[in-house]
Amino acid sequence: MWAFVGRKRRKKWLWLAVERHSRRIVAWVLGGRGVATARRLWRALPAPYRRGTWYHTDAWEAYRRVLPKATHRAHAKGSGQTSIVESINCSLRQRCAVLVRKSYSFSRSLAMHHVRIQLVIEEHNRRCTTS
């Protein structure tokens, strides 16, 4: 999922790592769409999620280059294996105006963008643990 920061040319991507069973967001980063941001997401994962875990992603090249080959499962769009993340993306868009597609709302600074998203993710995770 992407959003603008400051102006349309400054597109930032929101990368999420989601625990499938609970639907909690266990890690997230903002950045580009390349390997460097994928590595930042990998480092943001809590240690227990970096061992003995299956990683289901779309077929984006950056995932293949960062995630462990033995436990990474790339799926085609429409396969249903990434639908949980797409559902969470939709939920986050409903709760955070800067994430809405074709929105006139945007953050003027990356720091404020980060804070807005952090608040929405914390609320999402709180709802996951109380239901």
Q: Which residues lie below 8 Å from residue 43, measured CB to CB, with a gap of 6+?
A: none
* pLDDT bucket at 25, cuts 50 / 70 / 90: very high
Instruction: Name the residue with tokens 């797409």.
Output: 86
Q: What is the mean pLDDT of residues 48-72?
A: 92
The C-alpha angle 112, 15, 77, rounded to 5 degrees, equals 140
Calculate Rg over the CA atoms of the chain.
15
Helix or strand (DSSP H, E) at 65: helix 61-66
Angle between the 83-95 and 110-130 helix axes, to the nearest 10 degrees?
Answer: 120
Spell out the domain ranges in the chain.
2-124
What digits encode the pLDDT tens for the residues 67-89?
A: 999 999 999 877 888 888 888 98
pLDDT exceeds 80 at position 108: no
